[in-house]
């Protein structure tokens, strides 16, 4: 993405950035012009006041100084307004950018989400946006005013002598061209730093999870050395970027000398021919200085801008990341009432890896319960995720009530079909806050009543009473103030409140304390009653109680039918079952 595209796309995403920009630029022009007059006033004080023919003229000095003071104060106020306007616009625009990027992360398929370290997404909506903020708040205003100041001075130069103005421009051009050529290299260096930074944050969050292990095995130093290597790599790249940007900055400083020298040589030549006065040539030395000062700032800020551009691009990329699992163009409504599920010749390949599902076909009549069993890696979890449309199959169809899920809106699909994932993930807040997710439209008092009814229906009232504050108990980040089993209970209640027609359950594999275990299985039974259910079973006791059992092996459906039939068939399922019976009945 080039600079132009970045700006165009960035402005389109955050219209706040260019709203009122014209007024801001106009004000900046006023501030720049005011700044440019101050050296001019100094000149007049010297010539007309201090060096007046009749000796020092205090009155003229005072009048001119008063005028100068007014200009300085006005320019200060105008610049204050310019900066304020830019800050407000920038903050509003960046907030929008953050929100858009955040929103799109959740629109990406689970597959895409899993393919990138989650910490990297976080660094895009935080750190990368912040680099933009630095540009907008600190550098942006200065750059605009400086650019205008240089322009004003350039106009003044052209009025004095267009020939000398041309000479000045001509002596800057090659250096500016080189400087601009440099910019992509600098941008590359900054982009490298941002990418490394994301790696560092990814590594750090990994280690935060593993602290107990790291300490227990006494490998602190080794783990630190991983991070230190990343940190040193970042510092090395920062140094490189610093050399590059200072080389680019020095180029403009050098340009100032070249331009002044060239103006003197050309001015003298013109003066000798009588085309310029001594005063004009001398004035040019000052004008070049006034012209190049802000110009140096611009180049300086350009480097800063490269840094921000990199951040901006990274966020824009995320906003624009294609969502492969998309809403249908022409949605088809699901039939009312109970619906069944059909899996039709479904194949699935992740990226370029091996095929995970190799042509699965089965159907679950409305109101029936299907248990899917199989080893880890047999494809049963992938199948569950396809049923929930976390992503789409490579080929084949998933149908709910006879309608391909790709033709159903997400809103309808999620309201008719609920998923209870293996790990009961909760959001920070209270138990009740977590239930709101099931019924976003219900007001809080009705929800409280509905929640109590749900816990009662699931046989969980007694459990709820043992918690510190019932529905108002804080669950902590990721629900970690509750035990794994308790988190599971809340997520069952959440699914119950949703009252779906179809349930996809990924049975928890984690053992929890026995009392909670009993509550979970009882609540699960009640949740599943009367609904079309697919349960990814890790316990054969669950499979025993299902209407249908599907046995998966290496991405293939090897057996499918009622539990009793399969036990009698003497196939893989019967073998599994015999082993299980022997184990639990000893």
Partner 1 sequence: MRRAQQAKRAEYDLHGSYGAKSLQVLGHALRTAPRRFGVAIGAAGVFGVLTVVFGSVLGLIVDQVVIPAIDGKPIQGWWGERTQDPGRAVLLAGAVFVGIGLVNAVLIVIRRGVQGGAVASVGARHRTVVADAIAALPLGWHRANPAGRMLSAMSSDSETATNPLQPLAFTVGSFTMMIAAGYRLVNMDTWIAITALTVIPAILVVNALYERVISPLWDAGQSLRAEVSTIAHESFEGGTVVKALGAEGRESARFTTKVDALRDADTRVGAVSSWFEPLMDALVPLSSLAIMVVGAHRAAAGAVSVGDVVTAIYLLALMAVPIRGVGWVLGQMPSALVSFQRVARISAAATEVDEPGHVAVPREGAGHVAFRSAHVAADDGDGEPVIIVRDVSLELQPGTVTALVGATGAGKTTVALAAARLSRAVGGEVLIDHTDIRVVQALGTHVALVPQTAFVFAGTVRENITLGEDFPDDEVWTALRRAAVDDLVHGLRHHGEGLNATLEERGMNLSGGQRQRIAIARALVREPRVLILDDATSAVDPGVEQQILAALRADGKGPTVLLIAYRLASIVLADRVIHVDDGTIVDAGSHRELIARDPGYRELVTAYEVDSQRRPDEAGEPG
Question: Which positions from 45 through 64 interact with partner 1, judged by CB under 8 A?
Answer: 45-46, 49-51, 55-58, 61-62, 64
Q: Does 22 bind partner 1 (CB under 8 A)?
A: no
Residue 61 vs 154, nearer CB to partner 1 = 61
Interface region with partner 1, contact rule CB under 8 A, candidates 3-11, 114-122, 311-319, 395-403: 114-122
Instruction: Give the footprint of partner 1 on residues 208-237 (CB under 8 A).
Output: 208-224, 227-228, 231-232, 234-236
Instruction: Give the footprint of partner 1 on residues 365-394 (CB under 8 A).
Output: 376-377, 381, 388, 390
Q: Does 404 bind partner 1 (CB under 8 A)?
A: no
The 434-473 contact track toward partner 1, x by CB under 8 A, reads --xxx-x---------------------------------
Tell me 546's DSSP state.
Answer: S
Q: How far is the CB of 366 from partner 1 (least distance, A)?
A: 21
* CA 194 – CA 134 distance, rounded (Å): 15
Q: How far is the CB of 462 from partner 1 (least distance, A)?
A: 13
For the record, the structure tokens of 65 come out as: 């100084």
Q: Does 33 bind partner 1 (CB under 8 A)?
A: no
Q: How many helices (H) and strands (E) does the chain have?
A: 21, 10
Instruction: Give the footprint of partner 1 on residues 154-213 (CB under 8 A).
Output: 197, 200-213
Residue from 368, 415, 442, 474 touching partner 1 (CB under 8 A): that is 415
Q: What does each C-alpha distance from 214 to 156, 201, 219, 222, 494 come to in angstroms?
A: 67, 17, 5, 9, 36
Q: Does 323 bind partner 1 (CB under 8 A)?
A: no
Q: How far is the CB of 274 from partner 1 (least distance, A)?
A: 8
Q: Pseudo-torsion of CA 532, 536, 540, 543, nearest 10°? A: 20
Q: Please check whether residue 14 is in contact with residue 94, taking contact to mean a CB–CB distance below 8 angstroms.
A: yes
Residue from 317, 355, 499, 517 touching partner 1 (CB under 8 A): that is 517
* CA 437 – CA 431 distance, rounded (Å): 11
For the record, the structure tokens of 267 come out as: 């001015």
Instruction: Give the footprint of partner 1 on residues 115-154 (CB under 8 A).
Output: 117-119, 121-123, 125-127, 130, 133, 137-138, 141-142
Residue 159 vs 583, nearer CB to partner 1 = 583
378-382 long-range Cβ contacts below 8 angstroms, 24+ apart: 378/552, 378/553, 378/554, 378/555, 379/348, 379/552, 379/554, 379/555, 379/556, 380/536, 380/552, 381/506, 381/536, 382/348, 382/356, 382/357
Neighbouring residues of 395: CB distance < 8 A, sequence distance ≥ 6: 345, 346, 347
Interface region with partner 1, contact rule CB under 8 A, candidates 6-14, 105-113, 181-189, 355-363: 105-113
Q: Does 111 bind partner 1 (CB under 8 A)?
A: no
* CA 546 – CA 533 distance, rounded (Å): 9
Q: How far is the CB of 68 from partner 1 (least distance, A)?
A: 5
Among 346, 304, 246, 315, smallest CA distance to 103 is for 315
Residues in the chain: 586
Q: Does 578 bind partner 1 (CB under 8 A)?
A: no
Residue 2 vs 174, nearer CB to partner 1 = 174
Q: How far is the CB of 282 from partner 1 (least distance, A)?
A: 5
Residue 1 vs 423, nearer CB to partner 1 = 423
Q: Does 278 bind partner 1 (CB under 8 A)?
A: yes
Query: What single string gives the DSSP state of each residue in 155-220?
Result: HHHHHH-HHHHHHHHHHHHHHHHHHHHHHHHHHHHHHHHHHHHHHHHHHHHHHHHTHHHHHHTT-H
Instruction: Give the footprint of partner 1 on residues 65-94 (CB under 8 A).
Output: 65, 68-69, 72-73, 75-77, 79-80, 83-84, 86-88, 90-92, 94
């Amino acid at each position: 993405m080039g600079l132009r595209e970045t700006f165009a796309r960035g402005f389109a995403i955050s219209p706040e950035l260019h709203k009122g920009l014209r007024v801001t630029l106009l004000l900046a022009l006023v501030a720049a012009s005011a700044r440019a007059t101050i050296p001019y006033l100094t000149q007049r004080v010297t010539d007309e006041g201090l060096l007046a023919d009749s000796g020092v003229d205090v009155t003229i000095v005072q009048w001119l100084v008063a005028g100068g003071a007014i200009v300085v104060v006005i320019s200060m106020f105008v610049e204050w307004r310019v900066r304020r306007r830019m800050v407000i616009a920038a903050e509003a625009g960046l907030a929008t950018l953050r929100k858009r990027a955040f929103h799109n992360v959740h629109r990406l398929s689970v597959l895409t989400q899993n393919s990138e370290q989650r910490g990297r997404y976080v660094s895009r909506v935080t750190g990368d946006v912040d680099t933009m903020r630095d540009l907008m708040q600190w550098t942006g205003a200065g750059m605009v005013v400086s650019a205008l100041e240089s322009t004003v001075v350039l106009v003044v130069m052209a009025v004095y002598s267009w020939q000398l103005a041309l000479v000045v421009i001509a002596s800057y051009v090659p250096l500016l061209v080189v400087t601009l050529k440099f910019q992509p290299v600098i941008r590359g260096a900054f982009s490298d730093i941002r990418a490394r930074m994301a790696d560092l944050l990814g590594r750090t969050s990994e280690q935060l999870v593993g602290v107990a292990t790291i300490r227990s095995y006494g490998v602190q130093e080794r783990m630190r050395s991983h991070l230190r290597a990343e940190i040193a790599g970042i510092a090395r790249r920062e140094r490189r970027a610093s050399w590059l940007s200072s080389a680019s900055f020095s180029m403009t400083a050098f340009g100032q000398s070249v331009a002044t020298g060239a103006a003197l040589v050309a001015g003298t030549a013109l003066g000798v021919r009588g085309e310029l006065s001594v005063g004009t040539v001398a004035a040019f030395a000052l004008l070049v200085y006034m012209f190049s000062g802000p110009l140096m700032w611009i180049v300086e800020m350009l480097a800063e801008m490269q840094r921000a551009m990199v951040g901006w691009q990274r966020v824009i990329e995320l906003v624009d990341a294609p969502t492969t699992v998309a809403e249908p163009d022409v949605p088809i409504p699901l039939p009312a009432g109970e619906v069944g599920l059909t899996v039709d010749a479904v194949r699935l390949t992740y990226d370029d890896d091996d095929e995970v599902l190799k042509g699965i076909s089965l159907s679950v009549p409305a109101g029936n319960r299907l248990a899917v069993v199989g080893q880890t890696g047999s494809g049963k979890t992938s199948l569950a995720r396809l049923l929930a449309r976390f992503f789409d199959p490579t080929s084949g169809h998933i149908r709910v009530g006879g309608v391909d899920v790709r033709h159903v809106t997400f809103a309808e699909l999620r309201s008719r079909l609920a998923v209870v994932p293996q790990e009961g993930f909760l959001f920070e807040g209270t138990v009740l806050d977590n239930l709101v997710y099931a019924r976003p439209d219900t007001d809080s008092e009705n929800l409280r009543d509905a929640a109590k009814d749900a816990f009662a229906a699931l046989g969980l009232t007694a459990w709820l009473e043992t918690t510190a504050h019932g529905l108002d108990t804080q669950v902590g980040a990721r629900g970690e103030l509750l035990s794994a089993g308790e988190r599971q209970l809340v997520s069952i209640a959440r699914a119950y409140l949703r009252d779906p027609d179809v349930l996809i359950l990924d049975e928890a594999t984690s053992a929890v304390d026995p009392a909670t275990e009993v509550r979970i299985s009882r609540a699960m039974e009640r949740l599943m009653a009367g609904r079309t259910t697919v349960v990814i079973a890790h316990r054969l006791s669950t499979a025993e109680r299902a209407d249908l059992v599907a046995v998966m092996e290496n991405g293939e459906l090897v057996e499918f039918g009622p539990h009793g039939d399969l036990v009698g068939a003497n196939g893989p399922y019967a073998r599994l079952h015999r082993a299980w019976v022997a184990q639990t009945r000893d």
